[in-house]
Amino acid sequence: MKTRITELLGIQYPIIQGGMAWVAEHNLAAAVSNAGGLGLIGGANAPAEVVRDEIRKAKELTDKPIGVNVMLLSPYAEEVAKVVVEEGIKVVTTGAGNPEKYMDMWKAAGIKVIPVVASVALAKRMERYGADAVVAEGMESGGHIGEQTTMTLVPQVVDAVEIPVIAAGGIGDGRGIAAAFMLGAEAVQIGTRFVVAKESIVHEAYKERILKAKDIDSAVTGISHGHPIRCLRNQMTREYLRKEKEGASFEELEYMTLGALRKAVQEGDVKNGTVMAGQIAGLIHKEQTCKEMIEEMMAEAKEKMHWL
Ligand code: TUI
């Protein structure tokens, strides 16, 4: 199945893995790339040398292309932006901000630059700055989100730019991929489903929480201070949302969540930790290898699109 994205990235299937903080490490990225998608190392808030190490470990596990997601709110974003060049990375996605100050450096290094955007305005701006594609990410996604849904954002971005568009947010099976293609997307970015992959290193309790999630189990914290984060409801979100409603300060709320994602991902504390996941969690019921997931989703997408 060929699209401008599979051609641009040299991948077999039009599926890229989300650059999820603490989750998108070398084992998962290599597994997705080996299965014919594009695996990503999530830079998140990690120091540049940690990201360098992850890139090198991923390269030991695959000869296929892998990408890096640079999380622009990270205190180490600038250093990570240089490390991807030094390590010869060919594809960079960015999240939670505007990457224009790094674009010239990345383009000069021959890197394909794919900013994640949550609005038409940023998509157009990124195209002007030389982006090779954009990920249009709806608020169904886990983690840091914008305000538009995937259903509304994707076709508007598709109409606004010439470069290819990758749809993200709320996609977890072949029907979601087919739907994204109907909206004009040429690939999809998938996060939550890969969190429960066999190759994913997240704690079993975190995977269980996703596998058992219902449709209405999703909550968004931090809307009042402009840092909306989607995660699964638990003790932490209940307390956070109660304090937020009472008008707690940004500092107090931040303190509550400090290290909370790591606590959930690595220690399996799904009660007091932040269990970031998208709204599609309720659809995800089985742990499979990345290869099984990708092949199953592509077969279903092709069937839905009458390509078989
Ligand atoms: O980045 C994400 N999702 C994330 S990042 C993350 S880790 C984190 N750590 C500390 C604080 C906050 C997050 C967890 N999940 N998705 C891509 C994304 N980017 N979604 C929305 C945006 C976005 C929003 C506003 C991109 C740009 C933007 O405006 C930039 C501008 O200046 O116009």
- Give 89-124 as a DSSP string: --EEEEESS--HHHHHHHHHTT-EEEEEESSHHHHH
Residue 267, Cβ density class (10 Å: 0-12 exposed, 13-18 middle, ≥19 buried): middle
In 3D space, the residue among 192, 158, 159 whose CA is nearest the CA of residue 173 turns out to be: 192
Dihedral of the alpha carbons of 211, 204, 296, 11, in degrees to the nearest 10: 130
**pTM score, whole prediction:** 0.97
Kindly give the distance from the C-alpha atom of residue 70 to the centroid of ligand 1, in angstroms, as a whole number.
10
Q: How far apart are CA 53 and CA 44, in angstroms?
A: 14
- In angstroms, the first-to-last Cα distance of the chain is 12
Kindly give the distance from the C-alpha atom of residue 307 to the centroid of ligand 1, in angstroms, as a whole number.
35
Kindly give the distance from the C-alpha atom of residue 166 to the centroid of ligand 1, in angstroms, as a whole number.
16
CA distances from 53 to 218, 222, 228, 240, 260 (A): 33, 32, 30, 34, 23
Protein residue with least CA distance to atom 30, ligand 1 = 97
- Strands 91-95, 134-137: parallel, antiparallel or unpaired by DSSP? unpaired
Residue 276, Cβ density class (10 Å: 0-12 exposed, 13-18 middle, ≥19 buried): buried
* 187 Cβ neighbours under 8 A, 6+ residues apart: 3, 5, 6, 14, 15, 16, 164, 166, 167
Protein residue with least CA distance to atom 19, ligand 1 = 96
- Is the CB of 122 inside a 6 Å radius of any atom of ligand 1? yes
Kindly give the distance from the C-alpha atom of residue 118 to the centroid of ligand 1, in angstroms, as a whole number.
9
Q: What is the pLDDT of residues 177-235, one digit of tens each?
A: 999 999 999 999 999 999 999 999 999 999 999 999 999 999 999 999 999 999 999 99
Tens of pLDDT along the chain (308 residues) come to: 899 999 999 999 999 999 999 999 999 999 999 999 999 999 999 999 999 999 999 999 999 999 999 999 999 999 999 999 999 999 999 999 999 999 999 999 999 999 999 999 999 999 999 999 999 999 999 999 999 999 999 999 999 999 999 999 999 999 999 999 999 999 999 999 999 999 999 999 999 999 999 999 999 999 999 999 999 999 999 999 999 999 999 999 988 888 999 999 999 999 999 999 999 999 999 999 999 999 999 999 999 998 75
Looking at residue 254, its pLDDT comes to 87
Q: How far apart are CA 280 and CA 171, in angstroms?
A: 7
Protein residue with least CA distance to atom 27, ligand 1 = 97
Q: What is the pLDDT of residues 277-298, one digit of tens each?
A: 999 999 999 999 999 999 999 9
Kindly give the distance from the C-alpha atom of residue 278 to the centroid of ligand 1, in angstroms, as a whole number.
14
- Is the CB of 143 inside a 6 Å radius of any atom of ligand 1? yes
Looking at residue 130, its pLDDT comes to 97
Q: Are 117 and 136 in contact (CB under 8 A)?
A: yes
- Is the CB of 21 inside a 6 Å radius of any atom of ligand 1? yes
The 3-state DSSP class for residue 220 equals strand
Looking at residue 302, its pLDDT comes to 95
Looking at residue 235, its pLDDT comes to 97
For tokens 């990124």, what's the residue? 126
> Which one-letter amino acid corresponds to residue 61?
L
Looking at residue 255, its pLDDT comes to 85
Q: Are 285 and 210 in contact (CB under 8 A)?
A: no
Closest ligand 1 atom to 121 CA: 33
Kindly give the distance from the C-alpha atom of residue 229 to the centroid of ligand 1, in angstroms, as a whole number.
9
Residue 162, Cβ density class (10 Å: 0-12 exposed, 13-18 middle, ≥19 buried): exposed
In 3D space, the residue among 123, 279, 59 whose CA is nearest the CA of residue 191 turns out to be: 279
Closest ligand 1 atom to 137 CA: 20
